[in-house]
């Protein structure tokens, strides 16, 4: 009997999450329209919508424009029902963004860190922000490191966080769902939303600058991370004899053809991911993009040649991607993971 009740609760939670997501995408929307969109029965939709309205998660949004007969009540998401906290490291500071359910930013703050890779110092702003915003329902943290299911890997200047399960720490200490993500994955997702919205395509973003070296990939709206979170660590990629890209950049490309090194980098990415678009974030390390494009044509067949763009939007893409990851945790609901899954 307990198994049957658990199964029913899981199905209910799945249906609630489906309706949450559809209302957020289509609001304002009526119960009848939700039935058509979700293929759920009218009694199921009606019951869930009534429950979400009673908790304040949904708001009545007037009557629909009926072409005949009784006009139906429409509903929209209450943007202030819950908020998400997004955090990322910026040198010796921790930048924090508060966003509502629909991704609108409603606050921001910055904390100076004595040891930017000390988890205890991370807890201090978390304590403060969760006290100030008790309706925080999700936390998204961007880190300049590889990440595997919330565990920090391949750290770059954050050695004290190496092998720390930050996702589990936040869940156990604060009871809030968290997503820990590599900074380049956040940038790639933010860039994907900015350029392509809901289109199905493939994108790789590359950053080579003062903050480090890396790339992120987004395929059909989903971020690729690879086994153990190593995908995108292009600093390890050999591009000139035995030397990898990280070593060449540190050495100022001494004795190497910089244009050819970048062309080989892009060629390797195209061989393994075959993206439709590659975005190079602008920095002093990346120049002569037209020459790089031409050199790529020496290595790639025309059908494999991606559109290569440059952008100075890496900061905005980073923040927007991170905020989106946080708000998605809210719109996906919490009940299933809280009650039926284990870390």
Beta bridge partners of 224: 217
In the predicted structure, residue 299 carries a pLDDT above the cut 50:
yes
In the predicted structure, residue 3 carries a pLDDT above the cut 70:
no
For residues 123 and 68, which has the higher predicted lDDT (pLDDT)?
Answer: 123
Assign a CATH topology to domain 83-185+318-340.
Nucleotidyltransferase; domain 5 (3.30.420)
Tokens encoding 158: 């954050």
Q: What would the pLDDT profile of 233-243 be if each residue is shown by its tens digit?
A: 999 999 988 89
To the question of domain 2-77 being in CATH 1.10.10.10, the answer is yes
The phi and psi torsions of 163 (rounded to 5 degrees) equal: 65, 15
DSSP-derived 3-state class of residue 162: coil
Q: What would the pLDDT profile of 195-223 be if each residue is shown by its tens digit?
A: 997 678 999 999 998 778 999 999 988 99
**What DSSP designation does 282 have?**
P
pLDDT bucket at 304, cuts 50 / 70 / 90: very high
CATH for 195-315 (1.10.3720.10, 3.30.420.40, 3.40.50.2300, 3.40.50.300)? 3.30.420.40
Degrees to nearest 5, angle at CA 114 with 166 and 143? 35
**Run of H or E including 98:** strand 93-100
Task: Let me know if the fold of 2-77 is the same as that of 83-185+318-340.
Answer: no
pLDDT bucket at 340, cuts 50 / 70 / 90: very low
CA 257 distance to own-chain centroid: 35
Exposed (0-12), middle (13-18) or buried (19+): which is 72, by Cβ within 10 Å? middle
Distances, alpha carbon 120 to alpha carbons 95, 97, 116, 159, 166, in Å:
16, 20, 10, 14, 11
Provide the whole-model pTM.
0.84
- Nearest alpha-carbon partner for 246 in 259, 255, 233: 233
**Residue 298 near residue 334, CB atoms below 8 Å:** no
Rounded Cα gap, residues 204 and 184, in angstroms: 10
Domain boundaries, the chain: 2-77, 83-185+318-340, 195-315
101-105, 160-164, 232-236: which has the minimum mean pLDDT? 160-164
Residues in the chain: 343
Strand order of the sheet with strand 73-77?
A: 29-30, 73-77, 58-63
The phi and psi torsions of 263 (rounded to 5 degrees) equal: -65, -40
What's the average model confidence in pLDDT over 107-125? 81
Percent of the chain with pLDDT over 90: 51
Query: In the chain, helix, strand, coil percent, each to 5?
Result: 45, 25, 30
């Amino acid at each position: 009997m307990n198994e049957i009740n658990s199964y029913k609760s899981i199905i209910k939670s799945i249906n609630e999450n489906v309706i949450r997501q559809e209302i957020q995408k289509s609001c304002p929307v009526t119960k009848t329209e939700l039935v058509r969109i979700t293929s759920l029965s009218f009694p199921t939709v009606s019951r869930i919508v009534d429950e979400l309205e009673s908790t304040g998660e949904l708001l009545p949004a007037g009557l629909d424009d009926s072409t005949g007969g009784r006009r139906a009540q429409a509903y929209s998401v209450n943007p202030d029902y819950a908020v998400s906290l997004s955090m990322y490291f910026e040198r010796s500071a921790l930048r924090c963004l508060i966003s509502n359910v629909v991704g609108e930013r409603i606050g921001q703050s910055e904390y100076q860190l004595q040891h930017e890779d000390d988890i205890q110092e991370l807890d201090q702003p978390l304590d403060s922000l969760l006290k100030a915003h008790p309706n925080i329902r999700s936390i998204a943290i961007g880190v300049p490191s590889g990440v595997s299911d919330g565990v920090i890997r391949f750290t770059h200047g954050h050695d004290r966080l190496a092998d720390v399960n930050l996702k589990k720490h936040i869940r156990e200490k604060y009871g809030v769902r968290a997503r820990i993500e590599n900074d380049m994955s956040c940038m790639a997702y933010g860039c994907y939303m900015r350029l392509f919205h809901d289109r199905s395509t493939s994108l790789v973003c590359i950053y080579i600058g003062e903050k480090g070296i890396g790339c992120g990939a987004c395929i059909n709206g989903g971020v690729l991370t690879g086994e153990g979170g190593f995908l995108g660590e292009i600093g390890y990629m050999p591009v000139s004899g035995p030397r990898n890209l990280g070593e060449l950049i540190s050495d100022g490309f001494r004795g190497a053809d910089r244009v050819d090194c970048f062309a080989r980098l892009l060629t390797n990415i195209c061989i393994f991911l075959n993206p439709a678009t590659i975005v190079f974030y602008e920095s002093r390390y990346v120049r002569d993009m037209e020459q790089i494009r031409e050199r790529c044509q020496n290595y790639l067949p025309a059908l494999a040649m991606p559109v290569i763009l440059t952008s100075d939007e890496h900061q905005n893409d980073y923040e927007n991607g991170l905020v989106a990851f946080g708000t998605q945790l809210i719109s996906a609901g919490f009940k299933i993971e809280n009650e039926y899954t284990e870390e």
